[in-house]
A = this chain, B = another copy of it.
Amino acid sequence: MTGIRENETRTDLPDAADAGLYFIGICRTPFATRADCPRQGRRDGPVCRLEILPRWAGALDGIEAFAELDVLYWLDQSRRDLVTQSPKSDGAVRGTFSLRSPVRPNPIGLARVALIRRENAVLHVRGLDCIDGTPLLDIKPERCAYTPLAPEKAADRA
């Protein structure tokens, strides 16, 4: 890993992971490099595609009912060892958890996007901010936009 900036601090990462992720698909965006990415996704940004792996395509059933989705993705180009950071544009040093920087122990990106349409195993959305090819982790319907689908209290299941 390359050097860090003045006043930044890092930690040695644990020897082993505590849990494992399965990529469920891929984000297709017009942003080829980190420099091309907006700081955060915008609802008037370009239409991007969430391409779901065949294994999980059926898990999209019913998603057309939602106008907004929370999308989680894996920022696989990010270093994970910084405890405090000094973003280039700002001389101050802040703790990683007080920044939305992609550099974090678990580099999970989170975007609330507008669902434009579904086309089989592909969702067309606006509001992503990540590099083309970023692995997808999860898609959740945004519950605040609608009446909850189920009563307030009901047993879920492990």
Residues of A at the B interface (CB closer than 8 Å) are 9, 11, 13-14, 16-24, 34-35, 37-40, 52, 55-56, 58-63, 65-66, 70, 72, 74, 76-80, 83-84, 87-90, 93-106, 108, 110, 135, 137-141, 143, 148-158
Contact = CB atoms under 8 A, between A and B. Distances in A.
Given A97-B63, A108-B138, A155 B22 contact: no
15 contacts: A18-B21, A22-B106, A24-B105, A39-B151, A39-B156, A40-B148, A61-B84, A61-B93, A61-B98, A78-B158, A88-B155, A89-B154, A97-B139, A97-B140, A100-B141
A148 B39 contact: yes
B155 A95 contact: no
Contacts of A106: 21-22, 24, 72, 137-138
B20 A21 contact: yes
A87 B137 contact: no
A77 B99 CA distance: 29
A126 to B, nearest CB: 17
Which A-B residue pairs are the 6 nearest by beta carbons? A17-B20, A61-B95, A89-B154, A62-B98, A59-B96, A62-B94
